[in-house]
Amino acid sequence: MNRRNNMTDGRKTIGDNSFYYDLTRRITHDLKAPIRQISQLSEIILEDNADKLDEESLKSLIMMRERASTMAHLVNSVRSLSNAFLRELNMQQIELDCLLEEIEIDSKLPPNLLKIDNAPSIWTDPELFSIFFYNLFQNFFLPLGSGQIENASLKLNEDVHSSLGLMLRIPDFPLEIPNKMSLLELSTFARGDLLQSLAIIESSQLADRLGWKIFLHTNNNNELSMNLYL
């Protein structure tokens, strides 16, 4: 009954936030062309004039190209999250380890990072599940903790009795996050990056629609823990 109520609430949220999602799609659409032009222009300059540039100018141009690429990825992520939120749910029983393996490959994460022994099957929308995890890694965990992600671990939360729980741990995380911070509150840690904040906010909305609860915190050893209750 609780799960059914969560799904109903998710559909209600779509209507309540239709203006917000329409605005998000407009923003991402308007940003695509200038970001693409910046990327193409920097690539042309590098190809034709790299030997004429001093070291500092060359570094700046390469950094501009890389940041344009990051922006383009974030625009696509925000758009995909908006589209995912608005489409109909396709709930089904599916093996958790198969889903995690696909996400690991698509996100280019270290092998076996998302491997769980004796992983159960879960009742979820597999496409939305994958979109959520992919964007969470690509837009927050990898940019902020790319040096520590290789030592991260994912396991079943054995303390949960009423629902399936997952716990992701990342050591030496560069941000201090208070105990039991929600994913929505996490958007304030995006260091002023509007697109990154939007991606995290929409990830939170997507999790809410699927009826998930997510809490994060860092301990005294700077280890990040993300608890996800499906």
What domains appear along the chain, each with residue ranges and CATH number?
2-85 (1.10.287), 91-229 (3.30.565.10)
Q: What is the reported pTM?
A: 0.71
Q: Look up residue 164 and give its two tokens.
A: 């399936």
Name, in order, each residue with C-beta under 8 angstroms of 62's C-beta and a sequence gap of 6 or more: 46
Helix (H), strand (E) counts: the chain? 8, 7
Q: Are 168 and 225 in contact (CB under 8 A)?
A: yes
Write out the chain's pLDDT in tens, 230 residues.
333 333 334 434 444 556 556 767 777 778 888 888 888 888 888 888 888 888 888 888 888 888 888 778 778 777 777 777 777 889 999 888 888 888 887 777 777 778 887 788 888 899 888 888 888 877 777 666 555 677 788 888 765 555 678 888 888 887 788 778 888 887 776 555 677 777 788 788 888 888 888 888 888 888 888 888 87
CA atoms within 13 A on the CB side of 187: 15
208 DSSP assignment: H
User: Which H helix or E strand runs over 224?
Assistant: strand 224-229
CA dihedral 112, 114, 117, 123 (to 10 degrees): -150
Q: Are 16 and 212 in contact (CB under 8 A)?
A: no
User: Which H helix or E strand runs over 60?
Assistant: helix 55-86
DSSP for 116-179?
Answer: -TT--EEEE-HHHHHHHHHHHIIIIIHHHHTTTGGG-EEEE-TT-SSS-EEEEEESS-SS---T
CA dihedral 168, 169, 174, 180 (to 10 degrees): 70
pLDDT tens-digit readout, 165-204: 888 888 888 778 877 888 888 777 655 567 777 778 878 8
Q: Look up residue 199 and give its two tokens.
A: 């991606």
Bridge partners (DSSP) of residue 157 are: none
CA dihedral 98, 99, 100, 106 (to 10 degrees): 110
